Chains A and B, each alone.
Chain A
Amino acid sequence: MSDFAVIGKPIPKLDAIDKATGRVKYIQDIKLDGMLYGKILYSRYPHARIVKIDISKAKALPGVRAVITGEDVPPKMKLGFYKDNPPIKTGKVCSYRDEVAAVAATDLETAEKAISLIEVTYEALPGVFDPEEAMRKDAPLIHEKHRSNILKLPWKLHYGDVEAARNEAAFVVEDRYSCTWVTHCCMGTSGAIADFDYANNLTIQTNTQIPSLAQKDFLEALKAMGLTEKRVRVIKPCIGGGFGSKLDTYAYEHIAILLAWHTRKPVKIMFDREEEFKATSTRQPAIMNIAQGCDADGKLLFRDISMILDNGAYTSWGATTPSVMMMPITTLYRVPNVRFKAQCVYTNNTYAQAMRGYGNPQATFAIESSIETLARKAGIDSAEFRRINANQSGDVSPQKFRITSCGLNECIDRVQTQLDSNTSKEKGVGVGMASLIHVGGGARIYKSDGCGAIIKLDDFGKAVVFTGATDIGQGADNIVNQIVAEELGLLTQDVHVVHTDTDVCPWDVGAHASRTTFVAGNAALGAARKIKGQLTELAARVLESKPANICLRERVASDKTNSKKSIPIDKLLRKAHFSAGGQMLSSEYFYDPDNENMGKDFRGNLSMTYAFGAHGVRVRVDVETGKVKVLDYVAAHDVGRAINPLLLEGQVYGGVMMGIGYALTEQVICEKGEIMNPNFRDYKVLTAKDAVPITAPVIETIDADGPFGAKGIGEPGCVPTAPAIANAIYDAIGVRIKDLPITPEKVLTAIKERDEA
């Protein structure tokens, strides 16, 4: 048993008490004095020329304070890493979610009324809604300036020799898989309040997972508006769910800034649910062709994947998901020869963003469905097939990922044991498995993968930690708290974590890539170690001992060699403060992991460590209705160390449920660019009625670089869910569904096709 006082304990989420009593403030709940309400007018066409916009009636409506169109947006104000998306469009619209105008008014009703009074004359243009069609030479161009609908992004790699390996392979399988749009469905919808002071500095309260990068985006926006040398302060209210949706800045935030600037008043833009469905981004859809082959013993020889990604009309992080797809493609199992190519194509559809797993769920759906098919073709039990090819500590993958701690085999064993133990040969029941790899020790996508932490101690033995980390409900606050409390010999209730304000919190690249526990955890640990050094020195002086002999635990500093010598930490702190040359303890630390940006050939150790896992599921398929019922689910994860098992399990359960929805029920129905199901009646998020029994075995591999041995676990829960379920369906009824979600209709069609064949 470990000898920790705080680490490894199921400490409830720190803000749960305020959430359970209705006290926390989400953006929905915040009102500023004199605040105006902003509203956005969206396009009525998926692709059209804007001939004329008449705002005169809207402007004349009492209570309206500003009406803006694309003409009021400075030309340099553009969104997304590709900078192809102005916050309000001029000239033409390229999707239904294109912003055409916006208003600010004294109340929401007036703002809505004003929006309805804006008259826009469009001239419809032919649209293109299928990425493969959009690739054709004669396809309508989404952005004429770009001269092609294919984005110039370099997603292409080839390690080893795939053709030669293919010729050598004893067994080869080849298939086409696809997955459509799904969306985050954060229970708290998006919103922002922008406010300028009289020196033209901006304070923006917004739902973001990237406070520091958002601050940079907004600074650039101010610069485009001619406001140079200004300050931007980003305040995060309590966030009602993230899941990747808040990894980029959106048009509505920029529009709130513009409206606040035009009116000199705080302006709030708040999405309703329909707007949330229509105007926020989705997970990246993908068409995936995959071939894999193995030798007669089941050793994987090659993996060859090409993808077409529907980019939608504008470019956000969805277009960069191939950079993370590469991870499972090159490194899930040992596979010496790998080829991958992805093309992102403009269409007149909605555009995608980051979403839990960042491309990994899509790629893993293809890989693990294909692995199962290959194992069966080779006549090898599929769990055994996975073990034969499992990654091992010490491996360096073709992409030069260095595998340090690795519990993949243990995860596979745990899953297999649980599935076997419930074996029933009932008709229509089947089991399936799928594994995963994910970044578990940061991910150097940006130039820095760092996070800062500042700690100050007061006279009462309490610590305040200012962290760059962002809590979106996952428990970033707890992890930082527990690490600092453990290191300083304090209790959880002695450590307050501040993570909401760029004015006081240090830099962080963002709550992405399951990196917060590892990176923000190491930053907090670094800062805590510095203070601990000072504390032990103080204690040694007071107790007339040596720093090396001082132990800090449960609010007391004591001498390990002499149990009589001890002093409460708060008293020690007061002694230091209120004596000659008074000293108050504080420290700061910036942790930037020693991982690597990927090079030109995409090689480089993206993460300090990798998280592994295996999922298993038992399903019953009703061949009459095509309905799939998940009977039980096991999700085993190598987490390094569970800093907080309660919250860790919560991440896994939530991830798995989201993954089951991805596999079976969820889809944004987008017809000719129009979202047909922008509500929870028609977009099927799983409810309590659909809840399934999930067990979440935790494999602790105590990673050498992780804080107290921990790795990230935010995303893995939803990575291999869909293929595990698809594999179980195959096991149950012998049909393979290659397109997500696996709806009853698809199951029935597949059964029919099989029976006819």
Chain B
Amino acid sequence: MTRKISYIFNGNATETEIEDHLTLLELIRDRLGQTGSKEGCGSGECGACTVIVDDQAVNACLYLAAEIDGKTVQTIEGLANPNGTLHPLQTAFIEHGGIQCGFCSPGMIMSSKALLDENPNPTEDEIKHALAGNMCRCTGYVQIFDSVKAVSAQDEQEIKAVAWKETQ
């Protein structure tokens, strides 16, 4: 069975004809050709595929594409401001060593974004909890926490000011 879904993808109204069984990750990577979101396991265990659907971080590898009908999807490609300014989380991950091989980074950054949008000043435990589904084999997480903390310490207003949503 195929069907047509309409959704906002990284700020753009989008329509796609999909099969019922297509996953959101397949839609994003194979149909839309946006390869920033990664597949590390394909079974909901590593978080490399994390994207944000209507403010919620989800594992795109488990999420059916059909379910985004009428919703808003944001991936790593849609995080920086279209004028080229990076999201503060991107800057922080770069500057604090939160990225080594980088394979976990898109998912890690999107999970962190969902966390900070909801809770701009998380405790270390809250950060650990929010990122528990995002595996990283390179960093030992230390500099990833540093990265998230660097942003959470900033003024909430400042974060919002450069988030792409606010610029629409």
Contact = CB atoms under 8 A, between A and B. Distances in A.
Interface string A1-43: 0000000001011011101111111101100000000000000
Contacts of B134: 687-688
B102 A24 contact: yes
Interface of A: 10, 12-13, 15-17, 19-26, 28-29, 184-189, 238-243, 272-273, 472-475, 646-647, 649-650, 653-658, 679-681, 685, 687-689, 691, 694
Given A20-B93, A21-B86, A653-B143, A688 B48 contact: no
Nearest to B104: A187
B118 to A, nearest CB: 17
A282 B82 CA distance: 44
B128 interface: yes
A475 B138 CA distance: 11
B100 interface: yes
Given A12-B95, A187-B136, A650 B39 contact: no
Contacts of B132: 687-689
A724 to B, nearest CB: 15
A398 to B, nearest CB: 35
Given A20-B109, A681-B45, A688-B144, A25 B101 contact: no
Contacts of A239: 101
Nearest to A20: B90
Interface of B is mostly: loop
Interface stretch (B30-38, B63-71, B149-157, B159-167): B30-38
B77 A21 contact: yes
A240 B103 contact: yes
Contacts of A13: 94, 97, 99-100
B101 A20 contact: no
For A649, A655, A658, the residue with the greatest tally of chain B CB atoms inside 10 Å of its CB is A649
A16 B102 contact: yes
B75 interface: yes
A653 to B, nearest CB: 4
A666 to B, nearest CB: 11
A422 B145 CA distance: 23
Interface string B120-148: 00000001110111111111111111000
Given A19-B99, A21-B79, A186 B137 contact: yes
B43 interface: yes
B90 to A, nearest CB: 4
Given A13-B99, A649-B143, A685 B137 contact: yes
Query: What 3 A-B pairs have minimum CB-CB distances, sorted nearest first?
Result: A22-B36, A473-B101, A19-B102
For B97, B131, B140, the residue with the greatest tally of chain A CB atoms inside 10 Å of its CB is B140
Nearest to A185: B137
Given A22-B34, A654-B139, A680 B100 contact: no
A189 B86 CA distance: 28
A542 B120 CA distance: 57
Contacts of A12: 94-95, 97
Contact of B41 (A21, A273, A646, A691): A273
Given A23-B36, A187-B101, A650 B42 contact: no
A184 B103 CA distance: 14
A188 B101 contact: yes
B139 A20 contact: no
Contacts of A694: 140, 142
Nearest to B37: A22
Nearest to A688: B131
Of the four ranges (under 10, 10 to 19, 20 to 34, 35 or more), the interface on chain B belongs to 35 or more
Interface of A is mostly: loop
25 contacts: A16-B102, A17-B94, A19-B102, A20-B90, A21-B79, A187-B138, A240-B103, A241-B103, A273-B41, A273-B42, A273-B46, A472-B101, A473-B102, A473-B138, A475-B100, A646-B97, A650-B140, A650-B143, A680-B41, A685-B135, A687-B135, A688-B128, A688-B132, A691-B145, A694-B140
Contacts of A243: 137
A679 B43 contact: yes
A694 B141 CA distance: 10
Interface of B: 29, 34-43, 45-46, 48, 75-77, 79-80, 86, 90-91, 93-97, 99-106, 109, 127-129, 131-145
Given A19-B102, A680-B45, A657 B140 contact: yes
Contacts of B102: 15-16, 19-20, 24, 238, 240, 473
A187 B93 contact: no
A628 B19 CA distance: 47
Contact of B138 (A10, A15, A29, A654): A654
B119 to A, nearest CB: 15
A16 B128 contact: no
For A189, A647, A658, the residue with the greatest tally of chain B CB atoms inside 10 Å of its CB is A189
B94 A20 contact: yes
A250 B126 CA distance: 41
For A22, A185, A186, the residue with the greatest tally of chain B CB atoms inside 10 Å of its CB is A22
B148 to A, nearest CB: 10
Contact of A187 (B36, B48, B80, B133): B48
Contacts of B29: 29
Contacts of A655: 140
Contacts of A17: 86, 90, 94
A473 B36 contact: no
B89 to A, nearest CB: 8
Contacts of B138: 187, 241, 473, 650, 654
Given A29-B35, A187-B135, A241-B101, A22 B94 contact: no
Contacts of A646: 96-97, 143
Given A28-B38, A689-B128, 16 more contacts: A13-B94, A22-B106, A25-B35, A26-B103, A186-B101, A188-B103, A240-B103, A272-B42, A273-B41, A649-B97, A649-B143, A650-B140, A688-B132, A688-B134, A688-B141, A688-B145
A705 B142 CA distance: 31
Contacts of B99: 13, 16, 19-20
Contacts of A29: 29, 35
Nearest to B94: A16
For A189, A241, A243, A658, the residue with the greatest tally of chain B CB atoms inside 10 Å of its CB is A241
A186 B132 CA distance: 17
A655 B100 CA distance: 12
Contacts of B143: 646, 649-650, 653
Contacts of B127: 688
Nearest to B109: A20
Nearest to B103: A240
A680 B94 CA distance: 27
A243 B129 CA distance: 27
Given A20-B105, A22-B77, A688-B127, A647 B97 contact: yes
Contacts of B105: 19-20
A187 B86 contact: no
A681 B144 CA distance: 22
A659 to B, nearest CB: 9
Nearest to A685: B135
B9 to A, nearest CB: 14
Contacts of A691: 128, 140-142, 145
Contact of A679 (B38, B45, B100, B101): B45
A551 to B, nearest CB: 30
B100 A474 contact: yes
Contacts of A474: 100
A13 B139 CA distance: 13
Contact of B76 (A10, A21, A649): A21
Nearest to A25: B35
For A12, A187, A647, A656, the residue with the greatest tally of chain B CB atoms inside 10 Å of its CB is A187
A653 B137 CA distance: 11
Contacts of A241: 101, 103, 137-138
Contacts of A681: 43, 45
Contacts of B37: 22
B46 to A, nearest CB: 6
Contact of B139 (A10, A22, A242, A653): A653
Contacts of A689: 128-129, 132
